[in-house]
Chain A
Amino acid sequence: EADIYQTPRYLVIGTGKKITLECSQTMGHDKMYWYQQDPGMELHLIHYSYGVNSTEKGDLSSESTVSRIRTEHFPLTLESARPSHTSQYLCASSESDKLYGYTFGSGTRLTVV
């Protein structure tokens, strides 16, 4: 049973709208991540966080922003959605210095029309 939750599972939204993708975990993990994945392609890291009030950009440039005000919560925001933002967004969390326990959420499939 997954202990990391993403909402919504699916979202269809018009161009120019502001959206926030939610991610919460109940495992007390200090590290959290956002990945972007297009069909048939590898996951790309777009944001990560070591802990509260710590956020960094990942390997893939993204117009999205993130915040980490609480340990368990790591939302991703797009201020003005565009069709190029259409993708699957996956949230993950892990515990520092632990080999096991890197857990993914079920993802949010975003479509911008």
Chain B
Amino acid sequence: KNQVEQSPQSLIILEGKNCTLQCNYTVSPFSNLRWYKQDTGRGPVSLTIMTFSENTKSNGRYTATLDADTKQSSLHITASQLSDSASYICVVSDRGSTLGRLYFGRGTQLTVWP
């Protein structure tokens, strides 16, 4: 069964600190992995997209890494800000599907305290 598992489920950090969120997946065949940020009551917003050949992708203070061999990804947030408080969702797409099917993790709920 194709799955996407994220850890930790929730995380509290102080403003200015760094943090790393984890994503493990079993989706096969693999096409791409996306990280989304979802503010409470809003739709997910794309942060990064990585294909099989990409190991790392940055978007400002967000850096995602991908190890396609171990089927693991991480999202590193540098110098956290209060506005980083949100749910971060890992999404994996399988290859060979005309739909470009997406498999969603349950997200890591990040809270940044002042």
Q: Which residues of A contact B (CB under 8 A)?
A: 2, 6, 31, 40-45, 48, 88, 90, 92, 94, 99-100, 102-107, 109
| B60-88 interface code vs A (CB 8 A; 1 in, 0 out) | 00000000000000000000000000000
Given A42-B105, A42-B106, A100-B49, check contact A106 B100 (CB 8 Å).
Answer: no
- On whether the beta carbons of B43 and A106 are closer than 8 Å, the reply is yes
* The 7 residue pairs across chains A and B that have the minimum distance between CB atoms: A104-B43, A42-B104, A43-B104, A42-B106, A106-B43, A104-B44, A107-B43
Q: Which residues of B contact A (CB under 8 A)?
A: 4, 32, 34, 36, 41-46, 49, 51, 89, 99-100, 102, 104-107, 109
Min CB gap A98→B, angstroms: 9
Question: Inter-chain contact count A-B, CB under 8 Å?
Answer: 47
Q: Contact at A99–B51, with CB atoms within 8 Å?
A: yes
A45 CA to B44 CA, complexed, in Å: 14
Contact partner of B42 (CB less than 8 A), chosen from A42, A45, A107, is: A107
In the assembly, what is the distance between CA of A6 and CA of B107, in Å? 23
Separation of A54 and B84 alpha carbons in the complex (Å): 38
